[in-house]
Amino acid sequence: MKTYLRHQRGRTGINIVWIIVNVLLYTGTSVLLTFTTNAIFSRDMKALLLWSAINLAVWGTFLISNYFQAVFQEKLTQRIMIDVRDTISRMIVGSSYAQYHKQTTGEYLSEYVNDVGNIESNAIKNLFSLLSDGTTVVFATIALAAYHLLFIPMILFLSILMLKIPSRLGKPMTVATTEMSNGNAAFSNQVTNVLNGFDVLLNANKLSKLQELVKTAAKRYAEVKVSYTKTNARISNSIAALSIFCQVMVDIMTSILAILGAIPLGAISSTGSIAASIFNSLSSLSNDAVQIKATHPLFDKVIQGSSNSARARESTQEPAFQHALKVVDLSYSINGNKIHDHLNLTFERGGKYAIVGRSGVGKSTLLKILDGQITDYTGHVYIDDQDLRTMTMTALTKISQYVDQNVYLFNDSVANNTSLWANKQKSGDSLQQALLKAKVDFVKSSDQMIEENGQNLSGGQKQRLALARFFYSPKPIAFVDEGTSALDAETARQVTKQFLNDPDMTLIEVSHHLDAQLKGAYDQVINLGA
């Protein structure tokens, strides 16, 4: 949390000063109540009106100041939340393909929404609340001491009591918060899972399964939520009980001092109000401290992930591809089933290669290894002299691009889907050339909107837009895994020629049905499992 506060240290400092000013104004209203009460007891109408007017003026100033401070604090909080979410994004961007896929989309969504929301409400906002409560306790204690010095040791003793006991309740709250985070992730994951599979369930006449799966996940989440609420309620009630006890003790002390004539009768209302603000603040302070401590695992998860990604980026060498991509003694198994066994291959720069073979021999698997998506193999893959596993995905994607039959299109324009939000001034001609090479002849304008995941397009149209992405920003190595499978034979042939006719491009293509007319254009046809 300190990291994010440092990033906003100027605004944080202003907010702290503003909190102190508001606390002074609020405490002042309680002190002024003494003078109003004394005026009532003395039947002094002029004094009553004067002190009432002053009190109202202080109240008005407090309310106005409190409003603008609350708005300022919310803006500060949201700046910090943007920073936290940006940290999660940097973690994702800096991770490898394998690291990214250790978590599901639902789990990442839970981090962005639920975990960050928990950090916002239970850490950042509670921290500012804690500062306000702590300042209130200090100034209110000084105000009580002005009436009688005996209040100081009493408030000190009761404050220690209120802070010490709740601190022992921090561990259960930390556990409950971690369980809540995991429960949020599990629920988000299941909802994302079934919504993504809506079409599958619809076509199978199993939409009722969607309701069933979400309901089951909701029940599990509800159990976690109830457990969290029970823990939070136990802690909150314990703190509230302590607060009530302490206020009663101060009221008894105030009454005794008033009876003995040690303090004026008018002070009774003021001291009661001040004592209430002290112990209500201590109650809130104790609860805030427990909640803040409980969010430490969430901060640790975000910071640790970001640090790991940063280290990965730092260790990456500058990518280069001058000579060849080599597979040396590569073996790979899935669940004990050997897919590749001591495989040796060389792909020269600028060469055109087709990988064929029966279904299940590992064609696509090999392509994913070459692309860095799979790393748990034995042997080596070298780009020139650099081991592939020493490079991050960010480095690899500077020299290679993977094009497969699984296409995802964003809910955005054709231009942005093709260029992936590149500078439009730079991309005008390049965009049209890319669309032409991919045979994208079905759009009226580059500004034409694409629905989520291309729902308003056919499978072939989606695939052509995916191919246009490659042609817009071609890389030295093109990994094409059935990238033209949804196209008709002639269109597929024309698009494939664009790859084959580029002398600078290294094409490594996986195909179940290699075009007989183009077979002779490849430098090598590699038949796996032959």
**213-237: pLDDT as tens digits:** 888 888 888 998 898 888 888 877 8
The pLDDT score that the predictor gives to residue 530 is 61
Which one has a higher pLDDT value, 460 or 191? 460
Which one has a higher pLDDT value, 345 or 117? 345
Q: What angle do CA 393, 399, 401 make, to 5 degrees?
A: 70
pLDDT at 503 over 60: yes
Which one has a higher pLDDT value, 120 or 510? 510
Q: Residues 470, 432: contact at Cβ < 8 Å?
A: no
pLDDT in tens, 18-55: 999 998 898 888 788 778 877 887 888 898 899 889 98
Q: Which residue, among 445, 436, 497, has the nearest Cα to 468 in the 3D structure?
A: 436
Which one has a higher pLDDT value, 476 or 120? 476
| pLDDT cut 90: percent of the chain above it | 28
pLDDT in tens, 397-413: 888 989 888 888 888 89
Cross-strand partners of 333: 338
The pLDDT score that the predictor gives to residue 107 is 76
The pLDDT score that the predictor gives to residue 312 is 47
For the chain, give the number of residues: 530
Q: Which residue, among 240, 333, 294, 257, has the nearest Cα to 121 in the 3D structure?
A: 294
Q: How far apart are CA 462 and CA 469, in angstroms?
A: 11
Q: Residues 447, 498: contact at Cβ < 8 Å?
A: no
The pLDDT score that the predictor gives to residue 305 is 55
Q: Which residue, among 356, 362, 363, 372, has the nearest Cα to 333 in the 3D structure?
A: 362
Cross-strand partners of 383: 325, 386
Q: Looking at the domain covering 324-527, what would its CATH class be?
A: alpha beta
Q: From the CB of residue 333, how many other CB atoms can be counted at a distance below 10 Å?
A: 13
pLDDT at 427 over 60: no
The pLDDT score that the predictor gives to residue 238 is 78
Structure-token pair, residue 205: 């006449």
pLDDT at 90 over 90: no
pLDDT at 256 over 70: yes
pLDDT in tens, 328-385: 999 999 888 899 999 999 999 999 999 998 888 999 999 999 998 888 899 999 999 8
Most confident of 17-31, 163-177, 316-330: 17-31
What is the pLDDT confidence band of residue 127, given thresholds at 50, 70 and 90? Answer: confident
| 490: exposed, middle or buried (Cβ count in 10 Å: 0-12, 13-18, 19+) | exposed
Q: Residues 347, 325: contact at Cβ < 8 Å?
A: yes
Q: Residues 438, 467: contact at Cβ < 8 Å?
A: yes
Cα-based distances in Å from 475 to 317, 396, 420, 502: 18, 10, 15, 11
Q: How far apart are CA 301 and CA 116, in angstroms?
A: 11
CATH 1.20.1560.10 boundaries in the chain: 2-89+100-304
Torsion sign, CA atoms 446, 450, 455, 456: negative
The counts of H helices and E strands in the chain are 19, 9
Strands 524-527 and 352-356 come out as parallel
Element of type H or E holding 24: helix 9-41
Place of tokens 């002779």: 520
Q: How far apart are CA 107 and CA 93, in angstroms?
A: 16
Which one has a higher pLDDT value, 96 or 308? 96
Q: What is the mean pLDDT of residues 203-207?
A: 72
What is the pLDDT confidence band of residue 315, given thresholds at 50, 70 and 90? Answer: very low
Cross-strand partners of 324: 348
What CATH number is given for 2-89+100-304 in this structure?
1.20.1560.10
Q: How far apart are CA 479 and CA 139, in angstroms?
A: 69
SS3 119: helix
Q: What is the mean pLDDT of residues 84-107?
A: 76
Q: What is the mean pLDDT of residues 437-461?
A: 89
The pLDDT score that the predictor gives to residue 53 is 93
What is the pLDDT confidence band of residue 319, given thresholds at 50, 70 and 90? Answer: low
The pLDDT score that the predictor gives to residue 167 is 62
Q: How far apart are CA 72 and CA 169, in angstroms?
A: 32
Cross-strand partners of 402: 479
pTM for this model (two decimals) = 0.63
| pLDDT cut 70: percent of the chain above it | 92
Structure-token pair, residue 402: 């993977």
CATH 3.40.50.300 boundaries in the chain: 324-527
The pLDDT score that the predictor gives to residue 275 is 79
